[in-house]
């Protein structure tokens, strides 16, 4: 009998990929068949996602995957970054390209929204931290500028919903993604009618919510013909990429936390119920849905975006690999300059290295004078931000958290992993790097009966990947640096 294979489409805000997963004797192996860049396009002053190009890239990935397999995959699943959405007309057509979450139209919109709707009220109904990119805030921004397509739209589809709709013709939203929107109520477990009303929308504007791991439908006839494929099922995996990534944390026991490290760093713990306390709101933690109705209690931290944007800016002078940037950072002077990665000025600057210098000027620190010093500043600051977030997590939840798992692309950054161990004072287990695709694939495997629980999914992952372990070093110097950082992030810059 052929070994069961599954196809994951993992679309990030920087790149996308198609990956085949094969289960054999309780182990999972991966084979990447297609990778493509992804970036928003600027149209008439706004940033949008070209979902039609993304669909074509996924179809290319599907064809390349079929070419490597003796038999078609058992199923496929799609995950993407969170919060972004498109608007559908009554007949099912998209009304323009979806806006990208870094578009400037949401600047200042959190404060404007909270002028009419109290933060405590919203948090008690959603458990979602306030960010300018949240779906609720994006919809408020569209209302404020009288975006006509919003009045013409009959419904909303999130990014993975759009791509799944293109493949199957079925309209639905998966649980983990719904919870990121700041429109979902984890107590009633449905769309929050009152919050939708604050942006002038009815509950029917959003799609039905599917439990994670539900078969959504099969490839539509026209798509299957186009791909020369049988009509295989599309599984509604954890379609929010962090939901899939956390499903792939190879953890045991309960005293652990995670950092899903990529463009963003999502740092948190897994709980059975949302934490909706005032202290959680004041610490700006968020409650997002996970596998089996679990909650990812976490903080969104501006992650490797800082170094990605520096690298992009420096590319006119030199094309650095991420490996080279790691090596470069080791030559920088330790703790010379530190920044708060979540400073609003880092959200969408025209020039990230200059924004870092500006932060240092405002906080009366020496400006980084070389690429090495900038890279060192970014990696040290991220590690210290993780320490601050770890302390908040322990304080708000009372959980011990004795080990941190770093998953995703950032787990390949050996320097950042070691810095994080140094800063937090606890062991770091790094990997798997392709956690999102792995979680996507394992949810498909479970949906089709090849594994029977989240625990057994993680057991397969532990057997398949042995994560490198990083232990704390140079603890006294990192303790001193953290005291400096703690004072720094309390300043109003």
Residues with catalytic function? 241
Q: Are 89 and 154 in contact (CB under 8 A)?
A: yes
Buried b (16+ CB within 10 A) or exposed e, 96-130: ebbbbbebebbeebbeebbeeeeeeebbebbbbbb
Beta bridge partners of 80: 11, 240
Nearest to 271 by CA among 240, 251, 250, 293: 293
Residue owning tokens 């058992």:
74
Give the list of residues 6+ apart from residue 483 with CB closer than 8 angstroms, or none: none
Give the list of residues 6+ apart from residue 113 with CB closer than 8 angstroms, or none: 136, 137, 140, 198
Give the list of residues 6+ apart from residue 71 with CB closer than 8 angstroms, or none: 2, 5
CA 115 to the chain's CA centroid = 28
Q: Give phi and psi for 24, each to the nearest 5.
A: -150, 115
Between β-strands 469-470 and 295-302, what pairing exists: parallel, antiparallel or unpaired? unpaired
Nearest to 248 by CA among 270, 220, 232, 231: 270
Alpha-carbon distance 251 to 320, whole Å?
33
Alpha-carbon distance 175 to 291, whole Å?
9
Q: Is 328 helix (H, G, I), strand (E, B) or coil?
A: helix
Give me the torsion for CA of 335, 336, 339, 341, rounded to 10°. -50
Give me the torsion for CA of 454, 456, 457, 458, rounded to 10°. 90
Half-sphere exposure of 346 (CA within 13 A, CB side): 24
Token pair for 69: 């397999």
Q: Is 412 helix (H, G, I), strand (E, B) or coil?
A: helix
Alpha-carbon distance 20 to 18, whole Å?
7
Alpha-carbon distance 315 to 307, whole Å?
12
- The full DSSP string for 89-106 is -TTS-B-SPPBPTT-GGG
DSSP tag of 410: G
Q: Are 31 and 19 in contact (CB under 8 A)?
A: yes
The alpha carbon dihedral of 119, 122, 123, 128 has a sign of negative
Token pair for 416: 């950042």
């Amino acid at each position: 009998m052929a070994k069961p294979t599954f196809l994951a489409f993992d679309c990030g805000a920087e790149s996308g990929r198609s990956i085949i997963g094969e289960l054999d004797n309780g182990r999972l192996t991966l084979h990447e068949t297609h990778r493509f860049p992804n970036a928003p396009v600027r149209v008439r002053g706004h940033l949008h996602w070209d979902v039609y190009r993304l669909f074509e890239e996924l179809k290319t990935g599907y064809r390349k995957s079929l070419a490597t397999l003796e038999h078609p995959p058992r199923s496929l699943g799609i995950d993407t970054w969170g919060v972004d959405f498109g608007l559908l007309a009554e007949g099912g057509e998209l009304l323009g390209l979806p806006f990208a979450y870094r578009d400037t139209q949401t600047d200042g919109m959190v404060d404007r929204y909270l002028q009419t709707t109290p933060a405590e009220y919203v948090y008690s109904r959603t458990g979602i931290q306030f960010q300018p990119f949240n779906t609720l805030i994006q919809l408020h921004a569209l209302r404020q500028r009288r975006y006509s397509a919003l009045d013409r739209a009959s419904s909303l589809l999130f990014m993975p919903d759009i791509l799944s709709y293109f493949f199957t013709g079925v309209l639905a939203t998966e649980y983990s993604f719904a919870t990121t929107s700041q429109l979902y109520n984890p107590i009633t477990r449905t769309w929050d009618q009152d919050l939708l009303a604050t942006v002038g929308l009815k509950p029917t504007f959003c799609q039905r919510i599917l439990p994670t791991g539900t078969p959504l439908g099969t490839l539509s006839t026209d798509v299957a013909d186009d791909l020369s494929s049988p009509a295989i099922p599309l599984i509604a995996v954890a379609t929010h990429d962090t939901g899939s990534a956390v499903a792939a944390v190879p953890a045991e026991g309960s005293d652990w936390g995670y950092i899903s490290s990529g463009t963003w760093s999502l740092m948190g713990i897994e709980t059975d119920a949302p934490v909706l306390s005032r202290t959680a709101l004041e610490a700006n933690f968020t409650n997002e849905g996970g596998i089996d109705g679990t909650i990812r209690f976490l903080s969104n931290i501006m992650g490797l975006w800082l170094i990605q944007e520096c690298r992009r800016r420096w590319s006119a002078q030199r094309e650095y690999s991420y490996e080279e940037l790691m090596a470069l950072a080791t030559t920088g002077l330790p703790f010379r300059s530190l920044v708060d990665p979540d400073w609003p000025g880092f959200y969408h600057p025209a020039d990230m290295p200059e924004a870092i210098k500006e932060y240092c000027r405002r906080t009366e620190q020496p400006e980084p004078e070389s690429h090495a010093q900038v890279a060192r500043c970014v990696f040290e600051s991220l590690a210290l931000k993780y320490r601050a977030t770890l302390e908040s997590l322990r304080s708000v939840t009372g959980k011990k958290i004795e080990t941190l798992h770093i998953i995703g692309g950032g787990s390949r950054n050996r320097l950042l992993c070691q810095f994080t161990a140094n800063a937090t004072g606890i062991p770091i287990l790094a990997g798997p790097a392709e956690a999102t695709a792995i979680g996507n694939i394992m949810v498909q495997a479970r949906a089709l009966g090849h594994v029977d629980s989240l625990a057994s999914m993680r057991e397969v992952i532990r057997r398949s990947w042995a994560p490198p372990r990083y232990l704390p070093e140079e603890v006294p110097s990192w303790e001193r640096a953290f005291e400096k950082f703690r004072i720094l992030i309390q300043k109003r810059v």
